[in-house]
Amino acid sequence: MALTDVTGGLLPTLNDAMPHRLVPVLREFLAEHAGADDASVLVADYELRELRRLNPRSGEALTLPGEGSDAGQSFVGQVIVSEPGSGGAVVMWVPL
C-alpha cells in the first residue's frame, strides 16, 4: 500500500487527538495503516537551519541539518524522500 493511500484518513485522526498526543497518535496510525515500525515528528527552528525531534522517547534526542540531509531535503522541497535504514528497513521523510 502506498503512503498516499492512507494519508486521507490521517487528518481526521489527528483532528480528534489532543495536542500532547500528536506523536503517539501518528505512530499508532502509521503502524496500523502503513506497517510502520516507528514514527517521529521533526520541527524546524525559526531560522530553518535545524530539524529537531518533537517529543523524543527515552532521551533519544535527534537534531538534523535543514540543508544537506534527507530530512532537510524533504522539508525544504515538500517532497517525500526515502533512504535505506538498518536491517533492510526503509526510512521515509514525509513533510507535514
pTM of the model: 0.76
What gap in Å lies between CA 23 and CA 14, rounded to an integer? 9
How high is the pLDDT of residue 64?
92
Same domain, 21 and 60: no
Same domain, 16 and 6: yes
| Residue spans of alpha helices (H) in 35-86 | 70-77
Same domain, 59 and 78: yes
Q: 91: helix, coil or strand?
A: strand
Checking if the pLDDT of 40 tops 90, the result is: no
Same domain, 51 and 79: yes
Range of the domain at 20: 1-39
| Residue spans of alpha helices (H) in 1-96 | 3-15, 22-34, 70-77
Question: Residue 39 corresponds to which cell in the numbers above?
Answer: 514514527
Same domain, 32 and 45: no
Same domain, 21 and 59: no
Total of domains in the chain: 2
Same domain, 46 and 61: yes
Chain segment 69-84, per-residue pLDDT in tens: 999 999 999 998 988 9
